[in-house]
Structure 1
Amino acid sequence: MTAARYVLTISAGTAESLTAYAQGLAAFLASNGPRAFGHTATLPGVAATLLNFRRCAPHRLALSAATLAEAAAKLAVFGEHTSNPKLLAPQGLYANVVDRSAFDGVEDQDLDYLLALAASARHDQLARLWSVGFPVDWRHVYPELATERPVYLPPPPLHRRRYWPGPRTEGPPERTTTAAPPQAVVPEQAQPARLLTELTTLPTPLRVGRICDYLQDHIARLLDYPQGELPHTDSGFFDLGMSSVHLAQLRQHVIADTGFEPAETSAFDHPTIAAFATHLAHELAGDNEAAPGPELPLLHALGQDDIDRLSPHELERALAEVLS
């Protein structure tokens, strides 16, 4: 039986970042059964992650592969010959820069053409079209990948720029002295205890909202959101632009700030802020149920501001607590 072949796509903000990204991904895929979070990467999982869960940047590279080893070999070739584009296309590597697509939205006949290319195994033509900016809806082209869960892959290098209010004046670097590490004022466990205490004193309906606020704040920092902007709680983590690395960092924040260690795949199993917050609220409540304590305040104990924050569903639950 012939192995299934898929188009793989990567992109970055600059040519240098694309080359570094390709080299890093080649090394990762060439390792003996790349593993992360307890799972072994497969070609369908890698294809689903790259095609359906990564945003497109201007500098693009597309290729087709039937195995992870073939994909790694092609990516390595790109890293070696990126300075000579004429050598790339004959080896099934299609690299272009797309600042703004010249194509309009996909029409029905365009979609039929893309599906016909996939059905006739003309994957290189699909790769070539995507590399020049044609809007390929990979979920329609490869519907079998819809059931694949995203896998960990090395993230693309960050493209950071410095912005100066005026021309920099050249001069000798200022001499600085290395300060001694600051002494910790608060014990290590004080922060988790403080957050857990805050959650414990909140009524059940407000716990999820408080955790949502916490997750929104940390995700906004991880993704460098402008000040005052927060991610939507109902958007998928990958739709927000997060990678597997971001999810691992978020998990570490949760562990550090609550003392609770969620499963490594919990963010994949609950893939939105709202769903993850509900999961964490349930797990944290379960951890604290064994400890006796005063009853939590009910709806009549909430202030007007707290009541205004309740969603219709949360308000219904709070009323049910009062009437029970």
Structure 2
Amino acid sequence: MSVSTQQFVPLSAKNEDSLKAYAAQLADFLNNQSTLAFSDIVYTLQTGREAMPYRLAILAQSTDELVQKLGSFVQSGVNDSMSILSGHTEKNVSWIFDNDDIDRKYLQDIIASQNMKKLARLWINGVQFDFRALYAEEDTCRRIPLPTYAFQKERYWMFDPLEQAPIPVQEEVSDKIISSKPPEIEIQKDQQSEKEICEKLQHMLAELMGFIPPKLPDIHEGFFDMGMESVTAVAFQKEVDEKFGISIDDTATFDYPNLSDLAAYVFTLISENSIMDREPLIDVNGLIDEIPDEIESLSIDDVVERLTDVMEN
């Protein structure tokens, strides 16, 4: 691939907000990584990422230009005159014309002519092709560690404080029974930390890929940069499922392409499963319904004692 012309830099995400967040994250990262070769950045983003529905294509000649255009997209959105293109596709388009031969010939001509803008327009509209076809055998571009599509962690509450009905007793009694704000879920003591998960993944992958002890894979090195093949990726994902009792996405090693990112993803899945497995909180309003009508004549201590008896029974 020629480095004197504008290069096609693809980014994608599962929704529009995540795409902008990803663009901002990448721009921030590149601002602090002045030693990275622009050709390696382009090659990594072209060949080391899964194409998701919301797509951004930027044409740039240098890292500085790419950072500037990423910032422009985050602030102002698409700009055709600046070669900042974006599209959304629910599924990949396997055809352009009605004839497969014309399709292949059309793509081959675009790739041969290195017409990056045409290629970018096709890609943002769902046309899939092998980016490696843009490179000659003698090209020395390599994949490097870069930010990936961010898996969004969420916090959960056991119930919505806005939906919590008022308790029909004196306010000072309710203060003893529930707090004004629902407690945020805490990680169970026996739940593994993200660091522990990362260490286990590290040893699992070392054994699977034949690392000689005590050498272990670098948690920040890309899976495919360290020589992982597709068959190994499938075996690794299956082993992760069995080891942690979860079900990760089939594209996990592409979406989270190093051990550090994958550990964060696994940790989130385990946390979500832990939340789902918990017993529901006791319905305080339901308990109060079980207390006799003469509650209004009882003292605060008597009300608390009655509630305690109902909860224990």
Matched with 2:25 is: 24
Contact 2:256 2:262 in 1 (8 A): no
Tell me which amino acid in the other structure corresponds to 2:113.
S
Tell me which amino acid in the other structure corresponds to 1:240.
T
Aligned partner of 1:173 among 178, 181, 205: 181
Contact 1:114 1:141 in 2 (8 A): no
Deviations 1:209-254 (A, max 9, x none): xxx9x965774499x9844x798xxxxxx8832545x3346799xx
Deviations 1:258-305 (A, max 9, x none): xxxxxxxxxxxxxxxxxxxxxxxxxxxxxxxxxxxxxxxxxxxxxxxx
Contact 2:156 2:184 in 1 (8 A): no
Contact 2:12 2:53 in 1 (8 A): yes
* Counterpart check, 1:14 vs 2:7: no
Tell me which amino acid in the other structure corresponds to 1:173.
K
Task: Give the Cα–Cα distance (whole angstroms) in 1 for the partners of residues 156 and 136 of structure 2.
Answer: 43
Aligned partner of 1:241 among 236, 242, 254: 254
Matched with 1:200 is: none
Matched with 2:115 is: 122
Distance 1:176 1:7, change over 3 A: closer
Matched with 1:101 is: 92
Contact 2:3 2:39 in 1 (8 A): no
What residue ranges of structure 1 are gaps of 5+ in the alignment? 34-39, 184-191, 197-203, 232-237, 253-324
Aligned partner of 1:54 among 39, 49, 62: 49
Q: CA deviation at 1:100?
A: 1.8
Aligned partner of 2:106 among 109, 113, 135: 113
Task: Give the Cα–Cα distance (whole angstroms) in 1 for the partners of residues 263 and 159 of structure 2.
Answer: 40
Distance 1:30 1:118, change over 3 A: farther
Task: Give the Cα–Cα distance (whole angstroms) in 2 for the partners of residues 90 and 164 of structure 1.
Answer: 46
Distance 1:157 1:108, change over 3 A: same
Q: Which has the larger radius of gyration?
A: 2
What residue ranges of structure 2 are gaps of 5+ in the alignment? 165-179, 191-198, 204-209, 214-231, 265-313
Contact 1:217 1:230 in 2 (8 A): no
Contact 1:48 1:146 in 2 (8 A): no
Aligned partner of 1:43 among 34, 38, 47: 38
Contact 1:13 1:159 in 2 (8 A): no
Task: Give the Cα–Cα distance (whole angstroms) in 2 for the partners of residues 23 and 149 of structure 1.
Answer: 23
Matched with 1:92 is: 83
* Counterpart check, 1:66 vs 2:66: no
Structure 1 range deviating more: 23-32 or 111-120: 111-120
SS in structure 2 of the partner of residue 63 of structure 1: strand
Deviations 1:89-112 (A, max 9, x none): 221011111112343399454343
Q: CA deviation at 1:159?
A: 4.2
Distance 1:167 1:220, change over 3 A: same
Task: Give the Cα–Cα distance (whole angstroms) in 2 for the partners of residues 93 and 178 of structure 1.
Answer: 43
Task: Give the Cα–Cα distance (whole angstroms) in 2 for the partners of residues 178 and 167 of structure 1.
Answer: 17
Aligned partner of 1:81 among 76, 79, 83: 76
Contact 2:95 2:103 in 1 (8 A): no
Task: Give the Cα–Cα distance (whole angstroms) in 1 for the partners of residues 114 and 33 of structure 2.
Answer: 28
Task: Give the Cα–Cα distance (whole angstroms) in 2 for the partners of residues 239 and 175 of structure 1.
Answer: 32
For residues 194-233 of structure 1, the aligned pairs below 5 Å read 219-220=240-241, 226-227=246-247
Q: CA deviation at 1:31?
A: 2.9
Matched with 2:145 is: 152
For residues 220-299 of structure 1, the aligned pairs below 5 Å read 220=241, 226-227=246-247, 240-241=253-254, 243-244=256-257, 246-248=258-260
Query: RMSD of the alignment, in Å?
Result: 4.7
Q: Percent identity?
A: 25
Tell me which amino acid in the other structure corresponds to 2:23.
A
Aligned length: 208
| TM-score for the superposition, normalised by structure 2 | 0.52
Tell me which amino acid in the other structure corresponds to 1:135.
Q
Aligned partner of 1:139 among 132, 136, 151: 132
Task: Give the Cα–Cα distance (whole angstroms) in 2 for the partners of residues 243 and 177 of structure 1.
Answer: 26
Task: Give the Cα–Cα distance (whole angstroms) in 2 for the partners of residues 113 and 225 of structure 1.
Answer: 47
Tell me which amino acid in the other structure corresponds to 2:86.
A
